[in-house]
Structure 1
C-alpha cells in the first residue's frame, strides 16, 4: 500500500500545565473546516504536573490526527515546538499555544492564501480575548502578497502564523531555548527569507488570551534575566540577513524601541545596583552603540533618543535616573522656541547634564488634530470648507493655517491657499486652541495663481501653523457626517474659450478629502455599463473589458463611436474602438496594455467629444479579483499593476519594467539553497547561540 500523502498543515501545540485552556486549543484545531484528513496535530506535553498529559491522551483516543508526545520539562516553549518540528510532515506548520485557540475557518483561509500567492508566511488576523494586547495595523486589509518593508507585518513577531515547512527546513530554523523572546528571532529569520508574506485580515483566525491563573510565560518570565539572550539574537538575526543601510535600519528601529529601550526603561532600575551595573547595563550599552545608528536615532521618539544618547556616552547613573523617573517625566510639558517644540525634561538645556537639544525635539512627532466640519458649493462656484486644526501642545496663537493642493502623481508645484481663522469653541485645554477654527475657499477657476486647476486628481492637505511651528497633514480623515461634507459634482466654466470642467469632491478609500478635476466625467447619460475586466492569457499583457450599451450609448456603425480610452499622467492617450454584438448591445474590447509606455494609465469608456456632440464617459471600475500581469518587451520583463482611486474607484495601471535586482532575488528565493543552521547549538554560524532560558513574547 502506498504511503498516505502528507497533510497540508502540521499544527504544533507546546503544553505545560495548560489546563483548563488546553481542551479548547486542541478542539479548535480538530474542528477546522480544512478537514482532519488535511491536518496533523502534534501536541507536546513538556513535563506537566497537572492533568495536561491525561487530557491529551483522552482527546487523542477520539482523533487519529492528534499525536501526543510526552517529554521531560524543558523550562521553555521553544524546545517542545522544536520537538513538533522534528516530527512534522505537513506542507505548512502552524504554532498554536495551549492557552489560545483558532477560528474554525482559519487554516483553510490561510492555506488558500499561501497556495494562491506562492507565499511562505501567512499572518491570520489575531483577536483578543480578555483584553490581551494584539497587533492591529497589519490587519487593516487583506494583503495577498507583501513583505516586511511594504507592510506592518514586522510589528508582530509572535509565532502564531502559517509557515511553509520547506522554508523552515531550508534555513534549518529552530527556536532557541529561552524563556522569553525566543519566538522573535525565529519569525525574523522566516520573514527575511520568505518568498512573500500574505495577510488574512477579513476573518478572526487566532484568539489570544491570558490564562485564568495568569501563568502565561509572557507574564511570569518577563524580567531581564529571561529577556537578554533573545534581545541580542533579534539584533544579530537582522544583521545576519541585511546589509547596513536604510532597510536594515527600518527593522532595527523596532528592536531599538521595543527590545532595547522598552525593557531598559521599565525593568533595569528594578534590578539590584550590582546586577544593573555589571550584568545588564553593559549589554544595553553595546546594543545602543552597535545597532542604534544615527539614522535610527533621528526617527525614534525623544524618550528613546535620550536613553540611547546616554548609553552611547556611557552615563550609567544618568541612564538609571532617566529610567527610574520615566513615568513622571513623560507628563512634563513642552517648550516652543524658534519654530521647534522640545520636551521639557529636567535634562533639557541643563548645563550640568550637557545633552544636545535634538534629544528633546518633538516637533515632527506632535499629533495634529483636525476636522472637516463643512464643505459646500457657493452660488459663485467656490467650494467653501470649514473646520478646525491645531498642533497638540502648541497653543493656537497667531494661527496661519494654509490649504495645500497637490496634484496626484505629478511633480508640478503645489497650490497654496490661505484660510481665515475663526473661533472653535469646545476644544480641549481651557481655550488654548480657541482660534484653531478656519474657513477656506477653493475656486477651481482661479485657484492656481489666477489660472484654473489642471485636469487630474488633487489631494488636499493642511499646513497647520502656530507660534512659528508648522506641520502638514492630509485633510478630511475625520469629518462631520451627512450631506454637510459631501458636496456633489459641479460644472465649472474657466480657461480659454469658457471650457466647462466637472469638479467632483470625494473621499479616498482612506477617508481623505480630494478633488477630481475633469478626470472622470460624471453624467446621467453614461453610454454603457461595465461588467468585467480581465486578462486574456496569463502573460499576454492584453486587458479585456466587457459591458453593455445603455440607452445613451450610440451603436451607430456597430457601436464604433464608443471607445476604450487609456490616458497617462503626462496626457498621452490611446483609444481602442468598441464593437458590440447583436441587438443586446453586449461588447468586449481588448486593450494591449503591453504596448503602453511606462507610467500610470487611467481607463474610461467614452462616446462623442468630436465637436458634434458632448463627450459622455463611463469609468472602468477596479474589479476585486483583477491581479497584475507581466510580459516580455525586447527581452526585458515588464509588469502592469492595477491601481484604484478617485470618486468612482476608477481602474488604472502602473506600467513599468521589472527591476533586475528584484527579479534576481525572487529567482534565488525559489532555489533550494543550503545555509548554515541559525539556531541549532554547535553550528558556529553568525547568530547562533547556546541553549539558555525560556520564553514567549506578546503579540506585538
Structure 2
C-alpha cells in the first residue's frame, strides 16, 4: 500500500452471506481505472456463514489494496459500514454493497468531478440489473456543482455515492443500528451539510441488483417494525439542520411522500389491528402533526393530502379504510367544477366523511401532454404548430396561448393566441383530444404590443386551456424527429428601424427558447475569446482575454465587454490591447460592483463612426472556471459561473453568501487542516 496521503478513495464493502454476487463486487473495485495504488478496499465480513469469509480472504491474498475485517454479525449493513469508516484513510469514501458492482471507470470520473469542482458528494449514474428500481431524474445530464435545493439529488438517499471523508468526520456521521432505512438519515445529514454536490450522468458508475436468493435486507426486513426508527430519524435530521421555512418544507416533502404516506398506505394494512392502532398509528399521527406544514400539504398529491388530513384528525378507522382501498380508489373518475378538477374518491363531498374539497383537488397534478410539430420562420414571423391537452380533460372549447417569459426578469409576460385545429396525429382517448391541435404566429419585432421583444433570453410556454381548466407548461421537449435542430437565426428590423437578431434554440432539456439581440453568427463575431479567469489578487474581478478576428482591424472601432442582467441593467468595460498594434486584448470586469442576480457577458464592437450596427461575440463558459467570493461592505458575496443560451454563453450568478453557510465552510476547512 502506498503512503496514506496517496489514498484517494476508501471503498467500503459490507458483506453478509453475499455469495455468489460478492466476487464480482470486489473484482469491480479491484479493476478500477483510477489504479489500486490510489485505492484501499475495506471489506467487512459481518459474521457470514455461507463462504463469504473464505472468498474475501482468497481475493485479498493477491491484492495488497484489499483489507478484510471479520466481525460478529451486527444485524444490518450499518454496522460493517461503520467499521469500514473507522479504518478508512482515503480522501473520499465510497460505499459499495456486496450484491452490486462498479463500472470500470466510475471512481476515476467521480474523483475528478469532485476535485475539479470542490464538491463534497458525487452521485454517479446508477444502472439497474434484473429490474431493480433506480433513480433517473437526477441523472438527466452532468452537473458539475449543484445542491439539494436546485436538483433532484435528494430523491436518492442510498449510500452508493462518493463522500468526502472530512465531511463525514466533521459531522461525526455513522450509520444507526437499524435493519432498514439506516442509510437515509446518514445520507440526508451529509447532503444538508455538503459544500456542493456533483452528478456524473454520462457513465454508468454503479450497478444495483437483487440477489439470486432475494435476500436483500430491503426485501426481508421491509415491514414497519424495521422502518419506524429510520423514518423518525429522517424527520429529526432535517429539522436539526434546516430552520422552518420553504427550504425545510422542500426537503421534508420527500420524507412525507416516501417515508410517511408510502408505508402508511402500503404497510399499515398488513399489520395486525392492535399493533396498527396502538403501536404504529400514534407515531404516524405525531409525524403528520409535527412535520407536515400546510405548505407541504398544498404541494403533495391528493391521495397523500387525504391521508394527512385523516391522520391529523386522529381518524384511525378512516385511515385504514383509505389505505386498504387505495388501488381501487385510484381508478375513480373526476369532476370538473368552476375551472378545477376533483378526484371522485368515495369521501368527496360526502357530508358524513367531512373532508374539505381541497384534499381532492387534482387540477395542478394532471399531466399536460404537448408536442411540437414545427417551429419555422415565414419571413419575419415565427410559426409554431403542435398539439397540447390536459390529461383526463376533454379538449372542448380549447383556448391555448403561447406565453413568452423573459429569463430572470420580473417584466410582464407576452401572450400570443393560437388558432385551434385538429391534431395532426392520432392521440389516445378515443377522440377526447382530437381538437387539441394549434398553430401560433408572432413577429418578435412587434409582438409586445407593437414593440419588439427586449434583448435577452425568452422562454416559450404554453397555457393549455379546455373547459375552463388552465395549466401552464414549458414547451418543446417533445417534438418531431425533423425538428431536432433549431430554426436558423433571423435578422429583423423593428418599427423604429433598429436591427434585431433573433436566434431560436432548444435548451439542454429540449424546450424552445429565443435569444433576442444577443448572439451573432460566429462568422460575424469581431473577436474570439480565448480565456476567462479570476484576477489573482482582486478576487472579484473577472479577466477576459481574446484576439480580434482576422477581418477586423483596429481602425478606431471600440470593443467593450458588456454585462447585462434580466432587468436590462448594463455595465460596459473597454478592452485593453497588447503593445505594438497587437490584436490581442484583455478586459477586466469588476464583478464585485454588479448587483445581485444573473448577468450575461458579451463583447460588443461598434462601427468606426459609432453610427453603424454593432457586432457581438459571446464570452463562452469555459468548463474550468470556478466560482469566487469576496467581501462588500463587510458582507461576503459570491459569483458562480453558469452557461446560458444556445451557444453556452458565460453567465454570472451574483448573490450574498448566507452567513450560516459561510461559518460552516470555515469550520470545515479549519477541521480539515487540523486533521489532515
- Contact 2:558 / 2:574 at 8 angstroms: preserved in 1? no
Q: Higher relative contact order at CA 8 Å, sep ≥6: structure 1 or structure 2?
A: 1
- Contact 2:575 / 2:585 at 8 angstroms: preserved in 1? no
More moved, 542-551 vs 402-411: 542-551
**1:21: Cα distance to partner?**
0.5
Q: Distance in 1 between matches of 2:62 and 2:590?
A: 57
How has the CA–CA distance of structure 1 residues 170 and 448 changed in structure 2, closer, same or farther, with 3 Å as cutoff?
closer
The residue number in structure 2 matching 1:56 is: 56
The residue number in structure 1 matching 2:24 is: 24
**1:364: Cα distance to partner?**
0.9
Q: Distance in 1 between matches of 2:613 and 2:178?
A: 72
Deviation per CA, 1:392-420, whole angstroms, max 9, x where unpaired? 11111111111111122222211112111
Please give the residue correspondences for 1:212-361 in structure 2 after superposition, counting only pairs within 5 Å.
212-361=212-361
- Contact 2:170 / 2:668 at 8 angstroms: preserved in 1? no
How has the CA–CA distance of structure 1 residues 217 and 655 changed in structure 2, closer, same or farther, with 3 Å as cutoff?
closer
- Aligned residue pairs total 667
The residue number in structure 1 matching 2:501 is: 502
Q: Distance in 2 between matches of 1:253 and 1:169?
A: 28
How has the CA–CA distance of structure 1 residues 658 and 237 changed in structure 2, closer, same or farther, with 3 Å as cutoff?
closer
The residue number in structure 2 matching 1:439 is: 439
More moved, 604-613 vs 502-511: 604-613
2:587 to 587, 590, 603: 590
The residue number in structure 1 matching 2:614 is: 615
SS at match of 1:359: helix
- Contact 2:398 / 2:467 at 8 angstroms: preserved in 1? yes
- Contact 1:375 / 1:485 at 8 angstroms: preserved in 2? no
The residue number in structure 2 matching 1:692 is: none
Q: Distance in 1 between matches of 2:72 and 2:654?
A: 58
How has the CA–CA distance of structure 1 residues 67 and 377 changed in structure 2, closer, same or farther, with 3 Å as cutoff?
closer
The residue number in structure 2 matching 1:416 is: 415
The residue number in structure 1 matching 2:603 is: 605
**1:310: Cα distance to partner?**
1.1
SS at match of 1:519: coil
The residue number in structure 2 matching 1:682 is: none
Q: Distance in 1 between matches of 2:71 and 2:315?
A: 46
The residue number in structure 1 matching 2:38 is: 38
Q: Distance in 2 between matches of 1:77 and 1:284?
A: 25
The residue number in structure 2 matching 1:684 is: none
**1:15: Cα distance to partner?**
1.1
- Contact 1:554 / 1:607 at 8 angstroms: preserved in 2? no
Q: Distance in 1 between matches of 2:171 and 2:634?
A: 33
**Unpaired runs of 5+ in structure 1?**
674-700
The residue number in structure 2 matching 1:191 is: 191
**Unpaired runs of 5+ in structure 2?**
none
Q: Distance in 1 between matches of 2:505 and 2:208?
A: 39
Q: Distance in 2 between matches of 1:4 and 1:594?
A: 41
**1:129: Cα distance to partner?**
1.5
Q: Distance in 2 between matches of 1:659 and 1:385?
A: 43
Q: Distance in 1 between matches of 2:299 and 2:576?
A: 53
The residue number in structure 2 matching 1:85 is: 85
**1:521: Cα distance to partner?**
3.3
How has the CA–CA distance of structure 1 residues 296 and 55 changed in structure 2, closer, same or farther, with 3 Å as cutoff?
same
How has the CA–CA distance of structure 1 residues 414 and 24 changed in structure 2, closer, same or farther, with 3 Å as cutoff?
same
How has the CA–CA distance of structure 1 residues 581 and 329 changed in structure 2, closer, same or farther, with 3 Å as cutoff?
farther
- Contact 2:573 / 2:589 at 8 angstroms: preserved in 1? no
- Contact 1:43 / 1:66 at 8 angstroms: preserved in 2? yes
The residue number in structure 2 matching 1:579 is: 577
Q: TM-score, normalised by structure 2?
A: 0.92
How has the CA–CA distance of structure 1 residues 366 and 503 changed in structure 2, closer, same or farther, with 3 Å as cutoff?
same
Q: Distance in 1 between matches of 2:418 and 2:135?
A: 39
Deviation per CA, 1:179-201, whole angstroms, max 9, x where unpaired? 11111112122222333333333
SS at match of 1:429: coil
Q: Root-mean-square deviation (CA), in Å?
A: 2.5
Q: Distance in 2 between matches of 1:30 and 1:270?
A: 43
How has the CA–CA distance of structure 1 residues 366 and 517 changed in structure 2, closer, same or farther, with 3 Å as cutoff?
same
SS at match of 2:151: coil
- Contact 1:7 / 1:39 at 8 angstroms: preserved in 2? yes
Is the aligned partner of 1:365 residue 2:365?
Answer: yes
Please give the residue correspondences for 1:42-191 in structure 2 after superposition, counting only pairs within 5 Å.
42-191=42-191
